[in-house]
Amino acid sequence: MKILVTEQQIQDSINKVAEDIRAREAGKPLTVIAIMTGSIVFLADLMRKLDLPMRVGVVQTSSYKGGTTRGTLTINSDMMLDVEGRDVLLVDDIFDTGHTLEKVIEMIDELRPKSIKSAVLLLKRGRQEVTMRPDYVGFEIPDEFVVGYGLDYRDMYRNLPYLAALEESDLVDHA
């Protein structure tokens, strides 16, 4: 695999995203909803840099079942907080086609929040199939299958402190 983004570059970008969120939100309480599981590392680092009142909840989504090809999107919101009348920040790991973020925003919007903003660590260039764009983006990356810093391939590599693009030789069965 080849490293695309170093650990230090990730931290520098998260500092910038947090600064932008703090400036825009001006100390208002936030309800942060993480789209699991890939965003867990990004969420942990980002929320420690947001020195404002916040509540944190999660929704779990899945569209990749054991490989690199997108399947049917499923959303489990059992662990999500009440968002009615609240400012919501949706946190996700990667904005690829955009379908996951768009569907989760639609679901949350039905619960009548005051506002919804979104922050993603990565935006994969040239892959979007939706018109919406995240409010905060850490990095724009090429169209490669990326792992590390919470992102996985067959539930492996989430623990890498950097982001790497898998090469063909890395696409092995980790059963």
- 20 as an active site residue: the answer is no
CB-hemisphere CA count at 13 Å for 174? 11
Cβ contacts of residue 162 below 8 Å, gap of 6+? 3, 4, 5, 6, 7, 10, 148, 149
**Which one is catalytic: 96, 135, 152, 170?**
96
**No. of helices (H) and no. of strands (E), the chain:** 3, 9
Active site residues: 96
